[in-house]
Amino acid sequence: MANINKEILNLALPSIVSNITVPLLGLVDLTIVGHIGNENYIGAIAIGAMIFNIMYWILGFLRMGTSGMTSQAYGKTAWDESLRVLFRALTIGISMGFTFVLGQRFLELLMLKAMNTPESSIDFVRAYFRIAIYGAPAMLGLYGLTGWFIGMQNTKIPMMIAILQNIINILASLCFVFFMGWKIEGVATGTLVAQWSGFILALYFVKSGIKNGQLIPLEDHVSATWTLFSSTLKHIESWKKFFVVNRDIFFRTLCLVAVNMFFTSAGGKQGAMMLSVNTLLMTMFTLFSYFMDGFAYAGEALSGKYYGANDKVGFSKMKRQLFKFGVLMVVLFTFIYVVGGVDILRLLTDEQRVIAAASPYLIWVYLIPLAGVAAFVYDGIFIGITETKGMLVTSVIAMLFFFVFYFIAEPYWGNNALWIAFLMFLALRGLFQYFWAKQYIIHS
């Protein structure tokens, strides 16, 4: 058990650090434009960042599908196949990125309308978008690379890349904005430089890792890389599996996007105050998710490894230990939210009216860890063993419960109904995944 716990923590902790650094990219941009002197810049950065967050979140299957298939190849010590998975992910990710670049004008019009962009911010959002869109191939390629590193049981490299990206973004954005006077164009260019830097660094780590036997313990793969790449294109059945796995994850992600976007929209329909309340309270779910995603990534890597090695005993032990860590996170975060929930709100805002309006809804925040823990753990396990059909089916059913409950209860309970529906969605995903695992996954 001690070895499994060590494996889990070695994978989870760097992933948690990586997750925490992700919002810093957007925070740096907001901080810089906040000192330019035009409130429209702040709104433009917020909308521009949201546009790309939605685009990239929907395509998160490039990371998850790659992680699951790579970890299984790792468990089988099938090094050729692990590289083929990487090549497939890079081929699809980079191709989709350049497709976005080519179709940028259509995407721009679509996203500006979808985000209800204020007239005063449109030109600034366009300026940001038309530069940052050229980072799409790098970002989507990096998704595949990150998934591959996780599958190869290495989350330290993605952590280092995330930290270096933030450093580069800060330095580049400050230089472009304050020394070259590019304003919002400087912020977008700084982000673009950071994205491509992260992608190139990841490729360097792959090359050096293969050469030195740190990731692939066979040096002759360096000389055979081109042959492997050529053969990858001919493996039709592997491509079919890759697309099926990623298709399921894609539609499952759409379910999560639908619930989250509706949650925001439903809060907005209740007025600016309730929108602010829900946004602030949702940050506590986001914080919990940063930590639980770390353990989910560990689940992806380890469940795929044990599944690929056909080690059913190791798989069962790993699953039990993952849930024990999940219970610890539930206890920790529930305690933090119960004891310090109001203090967290005060850190996020000094508007006393908003804090007072949010306080009655803190009861639902207290339940977030308990409601959400199983879904995070099972997501990691399901991705690792590529049981993506189960992820999709359970997410669709939970989403239907969310909408049905909300529309029935909202006339009576208002914003409370929205929060109860969201907690139901989290809890039911985990519950349905448990029953799916009992039915279709041996030793679950």
The CA distance from 379 to 205, in Å, is: 27
Quickly state the pLDDT bin for 245 (edges 50, 70, 90). Answer: confident
Task: Report whether 37 contacts 177 (CB < 8 A).
Answer: no
Task: Report whether 173 contacts 186 (CB < 8 A).
Answer: yes
End-to-end CA distance of the chain: give it in Å, rounded: 17
Over 60: is that where the pLDDT of 219 sits?
A: no
Bigger pLDDT: 121 vs 289: 289
Q: Does this model's pTM top 0.75?
A: yes
Residues sharing a CB contact under 8 Å with residue 270, sequence separation 6 or more, in sequence order: 414, 415
Which range is most confident: 67-71, 348-352, 366-370?
366-370
Least trusted range by pLDDT, from 74-78, 148-152, 364-368, 371-375: 74-78
Over 80: is that where the pLDDT of 47 sits?
A: no
Coil, strand or helix at 77: coil
Q: How many CB atoms lie within 10 A of CB 27?
A: 12
* Residues 180-203: tens digit of each pLDDT: 878 888 888 998 999 999 999 999
Mean pLDDT of 247-275: 83
Over 80: is that where the pLDDT of 436 sits?
A: yes
Task: Report whether 379 contacts 296 (CB < 8 A).
Answer: yes
The CA distance from 20 to 18, in Å, is: 5
* Residues 117-171: tens digit of each pLDDT: 777 778 888 888 999 999 999 999 999 999 999 999 988 999 999 889 888 988 9
Rounded to 5 degrees, what are φ and ψ at 122?
-55, -50
Quickly state the pLDDT bin for 444 (edges 50, 70, 90). Answer: very low
Q: How many CB atoms lie within 10 A of CB 441?
A: 19
Mean pLDDT of 89-93: 90
Quickly state the pLDDT bin for 376 (edges 50, 70, 90). Answer: very high
Stated as kind and residue range, the H or E segment containing 331 is helix 312-348
The CA distance from 185 to 345, in Å, is: 33
Quickly state the pLDDT bin for 237 (edges 50, 70, 90). Answer: low
Q: Indicate if the alpha-carbon torsion angle 82, 85, 91, 93 is positive or negative.
A: negative
The CA distance from 66 to 89, in Å, is: 7
Over 70: is that where the pLDDT of 221 sits?
A: no
Quickly state the pLDDT bin for 27 (edges 50, 70, 90). Answer: low
Over 90: is that where the pLDDT of 238 sits?
A: no
